[in-house]
Chains A and B, each alone.
Chain A
Amino acid sequence: MSAVIELAAVTKAYRGGVTAVRSVDLTVAYGELVAIVGPSGSGKSTMLHLIGTLDQPTHGTVRIDGHDVATLTDRQLSELRAHRIGFVFQQFHLAPGRSAVANVADGLLYAGVRRKEREWRAEAALARVGLGDRLGHRPHQLSGGERQRVAIARAVAGDPAVLLADEPTGNLDSVSGAGVVELLRELNASGTTVLVITHDHEIADGLPRQVPMRDGQVVAS
């Protein structure tokens, strides 16, 4: 079993008749670095929610790390997210007024890691993203690029099987954005499976594999 993400004939229709994703097949193997690329409205975000187990498909099966998402309870899904999936969002979603270490350590809270261990693992993760000297800084004391690095550190602190990055450079200038992409590349090089969702072809083209999407379907590149 070498696929960390397996989507088979996945369709997601919302009430009101909007079909965001239409019979999509997608397989991502462990260790890959993949970009899902497409304009807004192409169904990228729905793909993120489905792969991230935050939402269930209307038809088809989603298997993450070998688990069929449809058969899992809320607890089991939460457990899967806590241990096997790391999220990075366009808006960073850092808690204001709390230090970088505290923000990263919160990512391990639901994996049942004890406090002391959460803290040193958070410090290690911050060092890994190049913020070893920003441990005590609060989000408002950090630049946009640094904030996104904190968010990435939070996502990888628990050693997830897959890192899902939703428009990770969307709120950043091009220099910071390039830095963040470089970081994702490094993380991938050291073994993490990374799935980047972006509308930016420039970023996608720099990654080893692209999955172009349009109107809820994967199109041939």
Chain B
Amino acid sequence: MTRLRVPDLVRLGGYGLRSRPLRAVLSALGIAIGIAAMTAVVGISASSRADLDRALAALGTNLLTVTPGQTMFGDEAVLPDSAVAMIRRIGPVQSATATGKVPSTAVYRTDRIPAGETGGLAVLAAQPDLLSTVGASFTHGSWVKPSYPTVVLGATAARRLGNVPAVYIDGRWWTVTGVLAPVPLAPELDSAVLVGWQAAGSYLSFDGHPTTVYTRSQDAHVSAVRSVLAPTANPSSPDEVKVSKPSDALAARRATDQTFTALLLGLGAVALLVGGIGVANTMVISVLERRAEIGLRRSLGATRGQIRTQFVTESLLLSLLGGAAGVLLGYLVTGLYATTQAWPTVVPLWALAGGVGATVAIGAIAGLYPAIRAARLAPTEALVAA
């Protein structure tokens, strides 16, 4: 029994495609679009995750925040004044600092803006070690003079207020000493106007209760610290304290994108299915058109199996061609998108292998039925059809 060698088979499949190049390209395009869509979706979500991991590694995952919850009667709870000092005494805690919300105070660009147009900005009293604890940095300027009417603007607050030398708070001008870069782990600081702790007390009737405590601890002990934070901050009623880990919140926000990714992946799969049907259609037509060739090959000594293999090979080549183009295209799209987002370009190997694997499966399935039809054709019938 003579068998066709693999290079002969590949060449044989190639002739069939080359004799109808436009048709081959168009049906390969269907596969390519499906694979490109799926590769790009997986790639973009992987790149986004890689960027998050990189960001989290830079920001650290050891920041915990403590905020007052509600009393058992549903009122706003308060943290005791001593909370920060108590938390600092926990062994693995490296730093602890707080901001305090200054009650019912609005910030204006000038003294001429009507009361009420506050722009949604909060005034927070802050301790000087806040910036090092949350990992914030200045775009320009420096920290406030703690006991004078001076402010530092969060990134969003600075954008809303504009480039002003001073802001108007509670009937007084406060000099802007600096502007912060966005703080990913403490986004509430972005829309805040920060004033010194003492200045808040002396000019804005701040009561001195911290409303958010930020604390960093040794990486290995973060969960242990987390479990003792509430009773430490408020020993008398630990239930009125909320403890959270901002890096988890950040990760969770990105994770919600994953349902969206699954949806897009499904759409890509539909495109791939349509592409596969296109390949099957092309192969069916090809078999119908090439009855004379099939008859000739049978007369030259091709077995049914060899005719079948020839058409399956052709179908496999067609979809592999599309698959390779699709993977490449998907990678390019990922790279392009990731570059515009300043993300690292990551396309997981399983996505590339899966893309190629899927096309092989599609090629085999799409080609099988037409190939079986080609092989079943009686040689005399095929020759007469010419």
Contacts and interface: CB of A to CB of B under 8 A. Distances in A.
A140 interface: no
Given A54-B379, A54-B383, A112-B2, A107 B18 contact: no
A109 B4 contact: yes
B301 A110 contact: yes
A83 B293 CA distance: 19
B53 interface: no
Interface string B255-293: 000000000000000000000000000000000000011
A206 B110 CA distance: 117
A54 B19 contact: no
Contacts of A112: 2-3
Nearest to A107: B300
Given A74-B304, A93-B386, A52 B15 contact: no
B306 to A, nearest CB: 7
Given A54-B380, A74-B303, A78-B303, A109 B1 contact: no
A98 B293 CA distance: 13
A95 B2 contact: no
A82 B306 CA distance: 12
A23 interface: no
A93 B301 contact: no
B383 A109 contact: no
A20 B298 CA distance: 22
A75 interface: yes
A74 B379 CA distance: 11
B7 interface: yes
Interface in A1-58: 49, 52, 54-55
Given A55-B380, A78-B302, A81-B299, A110 B2 contact: yes
Contacts of A83: 301
Interface string B1-31: 1111101100010010011000000000000
B380 A110 contact: no
B298 A54 contact: yes
Interface in B330-386: 378-380, 383, 386
Contact of B297 (A55, A89, A97, A110): A110
B8 A109 contact: yes
A107 B301 CA distance: 8
A80 B298 CA distance: 11
A49 B380 contact: yes
A79 interface: yes
A79 B302 CA distance: 8
A93 B15 contact: no
Give the interface size bracket for A toward B. Answer: 20 to 34
B19 A110 contact: no
B106 interface: no
A54 B15 contact: no
B18 to A, nearest CB: 7
A209 B201 CA distance: 126
Contacts of B8: 109, 115
A80 B303 CA distance: 11
A97 B21 CA distance: 12
Contacts of A54: 298-299, 378-380, 383
A115 B8 CA distance: 8
B296 interface: yes
Interface string A59-90: 00000000000000011001111110101010
A82 B4 CA distance: 13
B19 A75 contact: no
A154 B18 CA distance: 22
A54 to B, nearest CB: 4
A162 B251 CA distance: 78
A109 B1 CA distance: 13
Nearest to A87: B299
A85 B18 CA distance: 29
Contacts of B5: 114
A74 B376 CA distance: 11
B1 A110 contact: no
A106 interface: yes
A80 B305 CA distance: 15
A89 B386 CA distance: 11
Contacts of A106: 300
Interface of A: 49, 52, 54-55, 74-75, 78-83, 85, 87, 89, 91, 93, 95-98, 106-107, 109-112, 114-115, 154
Interface of B: 1-5, 7-8, 12, 15, 18-19, 292-293, 295-306, 378-380, 383, 386
12 contacts: A54-B380, A55-B378, A74-B304, A75-B305, A78-B304, A81-B299, A82-B301, A85-B299, A87-B299, A91-B292, A95-B19, A110-B302
